[in-house]
Amino acid sequence: MAGIYIHFPFCRHKCNYCNFYSLATSKHHDELLIALLKEIELQQDYLQGENIETIYLGGGTPSLLKAAEIEQLLHAVYKLFTVIDEAEITLEANPDDLRAPKLRELKQAGINRLSIGVQSFQDEDLRYLQRIHTANQARNSIKRAQDAGFSNISIDLIYGIPTLSSTGWEFNLLDAMGLGVPHISAYALTIEDKTPMALQIKRGKLPDVNDEDQLQQFIILTDLIQANGYLHYEISNFCTPGMFSKHNTAYWQGKKYLGIGPSAHSYNTTSRQWNIAGIGQYLTAVKSGKLPFEQEILTIPQRFNEYIMTSLRTMWGCNLDIVERDFGVDWTNQALADAQQFIDNGSLIQKGRILVLSQKGLFHADGIAAELFRID
């Protein structure tokens, strides 16, 4: 089983914190659609005939595409790949794009899961993030999606925003759960270098994030959401029973995926490749029938590190039997020895042959995983 990701990089407006490959223009919209269709064709052998379990349209803002254009993209995938009957087909959407007629068309086009970029249910936070929707638009878009028959809905929320108090964060979570959203992705606000937000903070025009507030809100998040019956199945992802994101879970389980579109990444267990993150170069390459990517063959330590990093992020944890099967007894023993300090300080929990991060460890997952890494 494998997944296909399609990247649509255009947005109505560039949010000040955004570090994704996204452009506030629609200048090449039509050309890009043609190129995406062509790239799907060019890459038809990449997954070596594996069945497709998930298709994910991300961005950017792919909800700027018309439903008919989305249908064209899905049709191209169905024509060239074997997509299983119950495939999960997700569209990332901004609340301002989800009007009732469009939602009905999206459903007809084959979208069966929406991932809505809500970020906060409070206008002050949305202004800080320079989002162009309001809290009410976000709430209403969820209700309209439910009315249109979408039951598999995920929303993105951001915590640790300087304008967001702990009470406000609790309110956001209760609002999301009260709306009956079965999947929530919650991320700490990260100030990425070279973003307008980083510059605005540096110049004193915006207040900076506070690490202690972020940790406090992470604890509120994990406590409150689990008390309400949601599973904390990956550091930033929570769902009601059975409502995991199949697409993202496949990434964390090391399954193959093909990325289509500028900046999209692909992985086939032995190598990783990434498309050019430049719309002009991407369009030129695809137009002339060339695949627009760079590639790296993964070394054994890289594959080991990847498994440690992704498995520790999930509630299923790092399985030492898998480490032993794929990398041998010596590396397994070394991983266990490296993990001991974190088991002793309560950041990692050992359950037989499984290592899982505790709530304390989850907030420092990347640092802990790095201590277990092998160097080339």
Which residue ranges make up the site for ligand SF4 (CB under 6 A)? 11, 14-15, 18, 20, 22, 59-61, 94, 117
> Please, which residue, 195 or 358, has the CB nearer to ligand SF4?
195
| Contacts of residue 34, Cβ cutoff 8 Å, sequence gap at least 6 | none
Strands 348-351 and 354-357: antiparallel
Question: How far apart are CB 138 and ligand SF4 at their closest, in Å?
Answer: 13
> Please, which residue, 11 or 106, has the CB nearer to ligand SF4?
11
Question: How far apart are CB 235 and ligand SF4 at their closest, in Å?
Answer: 19
CA distances from 44 to 62, 80, 235, 296 (A): 22, 6, 33, 20
- Helix, strand, coil percent values for the chain (each to nearest 5): 45, 20, 35
Helix (H) or strand (E) holding 274: strand 271-275
Question: How far apart are CB 12 and ligand SF4 at their closest, in Å?
Answer: 8
> Please, which residue, 8 or 150, has the CB nearer to ligand SF4?
8
> Please, which residue, 43 or 122, has the CB nearer to ligand SF4?
122
Question: How far apart are CB 96 and ligand SF4 at their closest, in Å?
Answer: 10
> Please, which residue, 99 or 287, has the CB nearer to ligand SF4?
99
Question: How far apart are CB 64 and ligand SF4 at their closest, in Å?
Answer: 10
Assigned token pair, 91:
């569209």
Burial 338-373 (b: 16+ CB within 10 A, else e): ebeebeeeebbebeeeebbbeeebbbebeebbeebb
Phi, psi values for residue 290, rounded to 5°? -100, 145
The residue number with the shortest CB distance to ligand SF4 is 18
Question: How far apart are CB 97 and ligand SF4 at their closest, in Å?
Answer: 10
Q: Which of 317, 323, 322 is nearest to 351 (CA)?
A: 317
> Please, which residue, 96 or 170, has the CB nearer to ligand SF4?
96
Question: How far apart are CB 245 and ligand SF4 at their closest, in Å?
Answer: 17
> Please, which residue, 54 or 63, has the CB nearer to ligand SF4?
63
Question: How far apart are CB 75 and ligand SF4 at their closest, in Å?
Answer: 25
Question: How far apart are CB 185 and ligand SF4 at their closest, in Å?
Answer: 13
Phi, psi values for residue 233, rounded to 5°? -100, -15
Question: How far apart are CB 115 and ligand SF4 at their closest, in Å?
Answer: 11
> Please, which residue, 3 or 59, has the CB nearer to ligand SF4?
59
Q: Which of 236, 224, 197 is nearest to 314 (CA)?
A: 236
CA distance 125 to 131: 9
Assigned token pair, 160:
């640790």
Burial class from Cβ neighbours inside 10 Å (0-12, 13-18, 19+) for residue 168 reads middle
List helix spans (H) across the chain: 29-42, 67-80, 100-109, 123-128, 135-147, 166-178, 196-202, 211-227, 246-252, 279-287, 300-312, 320-327, 329-344, 359-362, 365-372
> Please, which residue, 15 or 109, has the CB nearer to ligand SF4?
15
CA distance 311 to 325: 15
Helix (H) or strand (E) holding 159: strand 153-159
| Contacts of residue 181, Cβ cutoff 8 Å, sequence gap at least 6 | 142, 153, 154, 155
> Please, which residue, 43 or 263, has the CB nearer to ligand SF4?
263
Q: Residue 317: beta bridge partners?
A: none
